[in-house]
Structure formats: structure tokens, C-alpha cells
């Protein structure tokens, strides 16, 4: 939130109190399951989480990869059943927030609603870019867009991240996020390495030629955003 617009001290304290009910999950555990009763939102503190939906044929579509600091399950405010499963792909710590706590936060600090709206719109734009990539991009383009999205979001979380990050997803999970098979993901990864766009060393991925990847992926950087409309604190 503070990256969008600085929070007043009382707003920051209110958000910190909201995150006080922390829980931990092991890798592979479900934080929420699709079609469960929608009662809580989740703020991810540590680890990576996938938001996914199951298809009728048993296959899985990963809709989003959540990183530390992100709000998960915000749709649970509006629907009676959880629309997507949240599954830990690393050791995870997160704060559980019931609807009543969120309602009280916004009643006491209404300016924070504009921050939540901005965050939701940024996520919507990211997902719209993903849909365009999945619908029209080649396998290499889809993978390039996916890697760039992770890299840039990790940069926003940690200024020390430059061109390298640890890939926490398996090739199967990457495939579930990009609409590719695990075999195709492996092939496309090798192609990006061979053409000099990236290198891989175990789980570490290093982007060597970011402009080239951006051209391949038709990637739109959403870092420049206008927050002048967010009300100033009184």
C-alpha cells in the first residue's frame, strides 16, 4: 500500500493489527480450497502461493502466483464460495482476515479503500496481460512474459533484486500457469537459454537480455502508474 501512496502512522498501525493473526503452512498445503465457504481474506507474509482453479477434466489452471506482501482471496468479500484454491508451493506464513475485520478497517480508515482499489486494478491489468499472452503468444512468448512478470514483481518487493531470482515453481506448475505441458516448458526454457536471453543454474534464473525478452513477449511494464487520484491524508 505504501508503495502506491504513503500511509499515515495510524493507517500503517491499523494494517499491522490486521496482520496480527498469523498462521503457517507446509509446502503443498491448501490455505483455501475452491468452493469452500468464503469467510476470510489472506495477506501473504512469507513464501509463494499459487491461486488455481480445477477444470472438469481434472487439469489445473494457475491463475496467479502470489508473492510476499500480496492480498489473496479479495473476491471472498463478494462471493459466498471461494472461487480459486490457494496452495502453498513453499513454506508459507500468512495472516487470515475475516470480513468483519476488513469492514472495520475501511470504516475507520476509508482512505485505505482507494489503496485496495488501486491494488485490485493493478492485478486486473496483470491478468489481462496474461490472458493476451495465453491467447495469442507462442510458447516462448508465454514463458518470456511469465518470467518477466515474476522478475518485476520481485523487484518491487525487494530493491536488491536486479536480473536474477530463484524460481520456486516446478516445470509442471509453470506449464499450468502458461498453458503448456511440462515437456514444452523444458523445451522453451532451453530455447531461451540457447538464444542468450536467460541462464539457469539449478533454481536460479538470470535474465541476460531483458529488452529481447520484452519484445518476444510483447511485455508491457506496468511500473509507471498514476496515483495522484488517491486522496491525501487529512
Could you read off the pLDDT of 17-62 as tens digits, one per residue? 989 889 999 999 999 999 999 999 999 999 999 999 988 888 899 9
CATH number at residue 144: 1.10.10.10
pLDDT mean over 66-95: 95
Range of the domain at 64: 9-109
CATH number at residue 20: 2.60.120.10
Please, which residues bridge with residue 92 across strands? Answer: 25
pLDDT of residue 127 exceeding 80: yes
Q: Is residue 127 domain-resident?
A: no
Q: Are the CB atoms for 37 and 98 separated by under 8 Å?
A: no
Residue 24 shares a structural domain with residue 76 = yes
Q: Closest Cα partner for 91 from 168, 19, 170, 21?
A: 168
157-200 tens-digit pLDDT: 888 999 999 999 999 999 999 999 999 999 999 999 999 999 99
Q: Closest Cα partner for 43 from 3, 74, 85, 64?
A: 74
Total domain count for the chain?
A: 2
pLDDT of residue 223 exceeding 70: no
Q: Is residue 87 domain-resident?
A: yes
Q: Is residue 201 domain-resident?
A: yes
Of residues 71 and 220, the one with the higher pLDDT is: 71
Provide the pLDDT confidence category of residue 120 given band limits of 50, 70 and 90: confident
pLDDT at 225: 76
Q: Is residue 20 domain-resident?
A: yes
pTM of the prediction? Answer: 0.91
Amino acid at each position: 500500500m505504501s508503495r502506491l501512496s504513503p500511509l499515515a502512522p495510524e493507517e500503517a498501525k491499523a494494517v499491522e493489527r490486521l496482520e496480527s493473526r498469523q498462521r503457517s503452512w507446509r509446502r503443498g498445503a491448501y490455505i483455501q480450497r475452491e468452493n469452500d465457504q468464503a469467510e476470510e481474506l489472506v495477506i501473504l507474509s512469507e513464501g509463494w502461493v499459487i491461486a488455481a482453479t480445477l477444470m472438469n477434466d481434472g487439469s489445473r489452471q494457475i491463475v496467479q502466483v502470489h508473492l510476499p506482501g500480496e492480498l489473496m482471496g479479495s473476491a471472498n468479500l463478494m462471493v459466498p464460495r471461494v472461487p480459486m484454491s490457494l496452495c502453498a508451493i513453499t513454506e508459507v506464513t500468512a495472516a487470515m482476515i475475516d470480513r468483519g475485520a476488513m469492514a472495520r478497517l475501511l470504516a475507520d480508515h476509508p482512505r485505505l479503500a482507494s489503496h485496495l482499489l488501486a491494488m485490485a486494478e493493478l492485478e486486473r491489468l496483470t491478468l489481462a496481460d496474461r490472458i493476451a499472452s495465453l491467447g495469442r503468444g507462442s510458447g516462448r512468448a508465454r514463458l518470456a512474459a511469465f518470467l518477466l512478470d515474476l522478475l518485476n514483481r520481485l523487484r518491487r518487493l525487494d530493491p536488491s533484486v536486479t536480473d536474477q531470482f530463484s524460481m520456486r515453481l516446478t516445470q509442471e506448475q509453470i506449464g499450468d500457469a502458461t498453458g503448456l505441458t511440462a515437456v514444452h516448458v523444458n523445451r522453451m526454457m532451453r530455447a531461451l537459454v540457447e538464444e542468450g536471453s536467460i541462464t539457469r543454474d539449478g533454481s536460479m534464473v538470470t535474465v541476460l537480455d531483458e529488452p529481447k525478452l520484452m519484445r518476444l513477449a510483447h511485455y508491457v511494464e506496468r511500473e509507471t502508474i498514476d496515483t495522484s487520484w488517491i486522496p491525501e491524508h487529512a
